[in-house]
Amino acid sequence: MTMRPLVALLPLAFLTLAGPTTAQVPPAPSPQGSWFVYWGYNRSGYSWSNIHFNGPDYDFTLRHVEAKDRPSAFSLDNYFNPKNIWLPQYNYRIGFFLHERWSLSLGLDHMKYVMVQDQAVHMDGWIGDTRSHDFAVAEGGHEVVLTEDFLTYEHTDGLNLLCFDMDHYDPLWASRSGRQRLHVFEGAHLGMLIPRSDVRLFGEGMNNAFHVAGVGVGAQLGVHFTFCEHLFLRGTARGSWIDLPSVLTTGTAEDRANQHFWAYQGSIVFGGQFKLGGRKKDAPSAQ
């Protein structure tokens, strides 16, 4: 099962499990000045991309290249064993409710980007004989098949978006006790991409070091369900414009790639929200 239907069912599940309701709903999940942290997992998808490769004796662009994510098979060991929680596509974040309806947070979205192997694409450019005897072509347009001996290309350690999120909250529901609450939120994010790119070009390459390769900017929409006052589940749909002008490829400084594309992400996370120090205050009432 993918993340998309799970995210869509979250509001119904929250309302079913939470019990009787009241009209008084705090404007935000937690009072102004509270902190929150969370951890969870995602599925992602990507638009096609034009990927430009250049280096000594070659310069070419692959057009409309398709890619997909690579989720870990779901199991208790893969997703809940502390030794393995870094292997799937994960999300973590720490944030602050800086106003009664706003939060600011910093976190990492660990996605995985894998070029679809053996797809046929159009190539513009040239490859010199001194760089690859097998794939040498003159300047111009060509149809090529992305076989493993020509190119393997992935950001699987991963496509890491380290970003700030600014979110605005709208109250929907609260239980009679006020300990269970449901909010929707919408916001924007901006940050840097720090992928670890595993690339083999003409049979040469490596799993490169982590590297600041570009930027990402986008928007998000989701639901935030508070239960037991300080715990929450959160489902989020995100869209990000990813621009990578400096992708490491074969491991030499002269060889680089660049690309840009849309990334779409659905995530489900679990977290806690709390206030550090001072006297405990009631959650603000709706206005």
Is residue 40 one of the residues assigned to a domain?
Answer: yes
Higher pLDDT, residue 21 or 28: 28
Average pLDDT over residues 140-164: 97
Is residue 284 one of the residues assigned to a domain?
Answer: no
Question: 8-22, 154-168, 228-242, 253-267: which has the minimum mean pLDDT?
Answer: 8-22
Higher pLDDT, residue 29 or 10: 29
pLDDT in tens, 101-111: 999 999 999 99
Average pLDDT over residues 194-220: 97
Is residue 282 one of the residues assigned to a domain?
Answer: no
Q: DSSP states of 174-210 as a string? A: EETTSSSEEEEEEEEEEEEE---EEEEETTEEEEPPP
How many Å is the maximal CA-CA distance in the chain?
75
138 pLDDT more than 90: yes
User: What distance in Å separates the CA atoms of residue 243 and residue 264, rounded to the nearest whole number?
Assistant: 14
User: What distance in Å separates the CA atoms of residue 217 and residue 100, rounded to the nearest whole number?
Assistant: 25
Length reported for the chain:
287
Q: What is the pLDDT of residue 28?
A: 83
> Where in the sequence is the domain holding 129, given as residue range(s)?
3-274
* Confidence category of residue 17, pLDDT binned at 50, 70, 90: very low
Q: Contact, 156 vs 70, CB < 8 A?
A: yes
Q: What percent of the chain has pLDDT over 70?
A: 89
Q: What count of Cα atoms within 13 Å lies in the side-chain half-sphere of residue 184? A: 10
Q: Contact, 121 vs 165, CB < 8 A?
A: no
Is residue 279 one of the residues assigned to a domain?
Answer: no
- The whole-model pTM stands at 0.88
User: What distance in Å separates the CA atoms of residue 52 and residue 46, rounded to the nearest whole number?
Assistant: 17
Is residue 193 one of the residues assigned to a domain?
Answer: yes
Q: Contact, 35 vs 96, CB < 8 A?
A: yes
User: What distance in Å separates the CA atoms of residue 235 and residue 12, rounded to the nearest whole number?
Assistant: 12
Average pLDDT over residues 89-109: 95
* Confidence category of residue 7, pLDDT binned at 50, 70, 90: very low
* Confidence category of residue 227, pLDDT binned at 50, 70, 90: very high
What does the mean pLDDT of the chain come to? 90
**What is the DSSP code (8-state) at residue 17?**
H
Is residue 136 one of the residues assigned to a domain?
Answer: yes
Which of 93, 42, 46, 92 shows the shortest CA–CA distance to 72? 42
2 pLDDT more than 70: no
285 pLDDT more than 90: no
Number of domains present in the structure of the chain: 1
User: What distance in Å separates the CA atoms of residue 122 and residue 47, rounded to the nearest whole number?
Assistant: 16
Is residue 285 one of the residues assigned to a domain?
Answer: no
